[in-house]
Structure 1
Amino acid sequence: MRLKSSAVFKKLSEALGRAAIATSFVKVFVFAIAVATTSVATTQVAKADPKYAGIVLDAKTGKVLYSEDPDGLRYPASLTKMMTLYLTFEALSSGRISLNSNVPISANAAKEPPSKLGVRAGGSVTVEQAILALVTRSANDVATALGEYLGGNEERFGRIMTAKARALGMTRTTYRNAHGLPNTAQMTTARDQARLSAALRQHFPQYYGYFNTRTFNFGKQVIGNHNRLVGTVRGVDGIKTGYTRAAGSNLATSAQLDGRSIVAVVLGGRSSAARDATMRKLVAEYLPQASRSGNGNLIAATPSAPIEEPVTVASTARSTAGLPNAGPVPQARYADETPVSAFAPAPANAAVAAMDVATRPKTPKLVPPVDMKPDRSLVTNSTKVDNIVTASTAPAPATSGNAGWVIQIGASPDEGSANNLLKAAQDKGGVLLGKAKPFTVAFSKDGSQMYRARFGGFGGQNEAVNACNALKKKGISCWASLQ
């Protein structure tokens, strides 16, 4: 009986052992499946999440101190507002507007989603209030209002923004709106945003101080800056934050300390806290590595964006109603950087070569081309156009047949800028404009003197239209009309 019990016990133990082994195998197999599934899910989540990109530039020499996928396309989110502010500062510098000019809030602007200042349709803010609202709260309603104010409408302002981006060497950036709310065609790169950050600092030192604003008083509101690095990280003096679900958390930062200076950009952060932590590390690590020498003129200045047709802006009459109770005092924060005239190109130097756009990838086909005026072409040493007459005193050249057909390529509040536009078009158009006659047309728009930039001397409508279409293929926006 004991033997039988022992034998039964032995067989039972062996069976249990095999079951245990089988169970262990099943557990291992299930665990492996779970790991594999988790890995796939993690990969899918990673692909769905915004991809990280970053860059740190020595702001005095243009040297890249750090980069990770700096030319990969990303959504700019509210970093878009840096370009809106660039064009605002440019308009201020050229005298088209003043800090006290009133910016009307349209129904289109008022309906923008938060973040917003909340001004009702039909109301207005001053240009200075608009600047502060963009810098601190990143107000979408005010950004739209500024775009409409400066460009006539949001679509047109997007074209002007993109043209300015090209002029600054931002070859992979396309804008469609003034605020950065989702638009699949509105793309940029970390390198391009670093160029824009450097350009804002370099070209507008008299206005750059606004980016260092900690709080902004608007009515009963005390609005804090979304940029938590300002005032908390030694050396940081701006620039801008951004976030959308598709873009992730973005941040462009400027810092200078002990004679060293950098601009840094982080795109696609998983959260604002993670983004800020990454930027703090970048500033701490790379600011001490920046050079103390170099003049910091990284980005060649460009003339004011050409105006497709005159846009009337509100009167610049001084108004103190509703001005903020506190705010920054704009000043030249970078004493060694001389403000450049809105229509005068800055001298080239070795630093520009360090950021030469010729070494960068071309804009990918997935970004639709924009029919725009590439005001980069205004920066030229061309001497092809020597004698330009003003049409107010001399009629446009015409030939026999359907006389009077001209091509207009833009308009400007400054005759010199209109002439530069003609020179640039001749340089780029080559033989297409070989026999065309350049001239400007002076006219008045709401009391302001304007100048149209035109080419005449065409044999008729077909010749003018065909020449204009060929120019558009070369990136020169134009239209043909009967003089």
Structure 2
Amino acid sequence: MTVFSKALPRVCVMLGIFMAAVSSAFASEAHIVVNAATGEVLEASDADTLHYPASLTKMMTLYLAFSALKDGKLNWNDRLPISANADGKEPFKLGVGVGKEVTVREAVEGMVVLSANDAAAAIAEKLGGSEPAFGDLMTAQARRLGMTSTVFRNATGLPDPAQVTTARDMARLGIALARDFPTEFKMFSMRYITFRGMKLRGHNRLVRSYEGVDGIKTGYTKAAGYNLVTSVNRGGTRLVAAVLGGKSAQQRDDEMASLLTRFLPAANSGIATAAGAH
């Protein structure tokens, strides 16, 4: 028996585990609602099932960017070059072109409002040296935040079968952004940005339509479905909720609004509903 043949059963087992994880990432819709102050889970459905994060990934890219700004490793006016890798990230991008530059502020605002992929890649290359290396930094930070099921491989959320998360982990990340970067978090409530003379409107419709919503992030790929993490602050109570795998943007937004409406009164009164036992 060769060394390869001895190793083959283990390789097959590992491949089976990986394929099972990938398969489960195509699961049906999942959601969770959390009281951000207490950590109480008010409702959860398939909250620990693996899904593809799509552009919710940029929440972690932004977490690390905010950390670098806080530590002085980045400044808002620093200029970031757009590499060929960054420029090739379709479809949403600032689109300045290869060899051009954007400021850190432009990159951050572009990610928050437009989900700009070239901006995310430029931040990744600046902080990690390369996008794959930055993915390792993202995953390490996820573990520090208690995101035990999440793996990041890129800064954008563009398709990668190994890049997975859960509704619970995404809610944890949303809570961490609001807790650790309260000033920067206010940027998630921006409805549009003005980029080099152009007024550009964002994708997050609940920021405009639901009272008290102050972010956070939308996401979509064909494999992921329609994803959304939302923060609402009303009456002194902050809820963070995640909906993953929606069938359409409208269905996802309606589901999120329904969850928030159901649980804001319970959160404000401090009385858990029967669903809160999850």
TM-score (norm 1): 0.50
* Cα distance, 1:48 vs structure 2: 10
Partner Cα separation in structure 2 for residue 281 and residue 79 of structure 1: 21
Matched residue SS, 1:231? helix
* Cα distance, 1:113 vs structure 2: 1.1
Selected match of 2:169 from 192, 202, 206: 192
- Residue 83 (structure 1) aligned with residue 71 (structure 2): no
- Residue 253 (structure 1) aligned with residue 193 (structure 2): no
Partner Cα separation in structure 1 for residue 46 and residue 209 of structure 2: 28
Q: One-letter code of the match for 2:71?
A: S
- Residue 241 (structure 1) aligned with residue 218 (structure 2): yes
* Cα distance, 1:291 vs structure 2: 4.5
Q: Is the contact made by 1:227 and 1:240 (CA closer than 8 Å) also made in structure 2? A: yes
Deviations along 1:105-147, one digit per CA (max 9) or x if unpaired, are 1111011111111110111111111111001110111111111
Q: Is the contact made by 2:25 and 2:51 (CA closer than 8 Å) also made in structure 1? A: no
Q: Is the contact made by 2:235 and 2:268 (CA closer than 8 Å) also made in structure 1? A: no
Deviations along 1:78-105, one digit per CA (max 9) or x if unpaired, are 0000000000000000011111111111
Number of paired residues?
A: 247
Q: Is the contact made by 2:93 and 2:118 (CA closer than 8 Å) also made in structure 1? A: yes
Q: One-letter code of the match for 2:190?
A: T
- Structure 2 counterpart of 1:216: 193
- Structure 2 counterpart of 1:432: none
Q: Is the contact made by 2:53 and 2:227 (CA closer than 8 Å) also made in structure 1? A: yes
Selected match of 2:101 from 106, 119, 124: 124
Q: Is the contact made by 1:50 and 1:269 (CA closer than 8 Å) also made in structure 2? A: no
Q: One-letter code of the match for 1:248?
A: G
Partner Cα separation in structure 1 for residue 27 and residue 44 of structure 2: 17
Q: One-letter code of the match for 2:47?
A: P
Matched residue SS, 2:206? coil
- Residue 73 (structure 1) aligned with residue 50 (structure 2): yes
Selected match of 1:63 from 18, 30, 40: 40
Q: Is the contact made by 2:139 and 2:151 (CA closer than 8 Å) also made in structure 1? A: yes
* Cα distance, 1:50 vs structure 2: 4.8
Q: Is the contact made by 2:25 and 2:224 (CA closer than 8 Å) also made in structure 1? A: no
Selected match of 1:107 from 72, 84, 87: 84
- Structure 2 unaligned segments of length 5 or more: list them: 1-23, 271-278
Alignment of 1:363-402 (within 5 A): none
Alignment of 1:17-36 (within 5 A): none
- Residue 145 (structure 1) aligned with residue 135 (structure 2): no
Alignment of 1:300-315 (within 5 A): none
Larger relative contact order, structure 1 or 2 (CA cutoff 8 Å, min sep 6): 2
Matched residue SS, 2:207? coil
Matched residue SS, 2:208? coil
Partner Cα separation in structure 2 for residue 220 and residue 97 of structure 1: 25
- Structure 2 counterpart of 1:339: none
- Structure 2 counterpart of 1:230: 207
Partner Cα separation in structure 1 for residue 103 and residue 197 of structure 2: 16
Q: Is the contact made by 1:259 and 1:292 (CA closer than 8 Å) also made in structure 2? A: no
- Residue 169 (structure 1) aligned with residue 143 (structure 2): no
**Per the alignment, do residues 48 and 70 of structure 1 end up closer, same or farther by CA in structure 2, a change over 3 Å counting?**
closer
* Cα distance, 1:230 vs structure 2: 0.4
Q: One-letter code of the match for 2:79?
A: N
Partner Cα separation in structure 1 for residue 70 and residue 25 of structure 2: 43
- Structure 2 counterpart of 1:467: none
- Residue 275 (structure 1) aligned with residue 252 (structure 2): yes
Q: Is the contact made by 2:27 and 2:49 (CA closer than 8 Å) also made in structure 1? A: no
Partner Cα separation in structure 2 for residue 48 and residue 121 of structure 1: 33
- Structure 1 counterpart of 2:112: 135
- Structure 2 counterpart of 1:12: none
Selected match of 2:136 from 146, 159, 181: 159
Selected match of 2:157 from 175, 180, 201: 180
Matched residue SS, 2:245? strand
**Per the alignment, do residues 49 and 84 of structure 1 end up closer, same or farther by CA in structure 2, a change over 3 Å counting?**
closer
- Structure 1 counterpart of 2:6: none
Matched residue SS, 1:230? helix
- Structure 1 counterpart of 2:28: 51
How large is the RMSD of aligned CA atoms in angstroms? 1.4
The structure with the greater share of residues assigned to helix is 2
Partner Cα separation in structure 2 for residue 222 and residue 245 of structure 1: 28
**Per the alignment, do residues 119 and 205 of structure 1 end up closer, same or farther by CA in structure 2, a change over 3 Å counting?**
same
Q: Is the contact made by 2:92 and 2:116 (CA closer than 8 Å) also made in structure 1? A: yes
Matched residue SS, 1:284? helix
Partner Cα separation in structure 1 for residue 80 and residue 263 of structure 2: 40
Deviations along 1:370-411, one digit per CA (max 9) or x if unpaired, are xxxxxxxxxxxxxxxxxxxxxxxxxxxxxxxxxxxxxxxxxx
Partner Cα separation in structure 2 for residue 121 and residue 263 of structure 1: 37
Q: One-letter code of the match for 2:122?
A: A
CA radius of gyration, larger in: 1
Q: One-letter code of the match for 1:164?
A: Q
Partner Cα separation in structure 2 for residue 88 and residue 104 of structure 1: 16
Deviations along 1:234-262, one digit per CA (max 9) or x if unpaired, are 01000000000000000000001111110
Deviations along 1:44-94, one digit per CA (max 9) or x if unpaired, are xxx996510000001111100011011000000000000000000000000
Q: One-letter code of the match for 2:125?
A: E
Q: One-letter code of the match for 1:200?
A: L
Q: Is the contact made by 2:55 and 2:218 (CA closer than 8 Å) also made in structure 1? A: yes
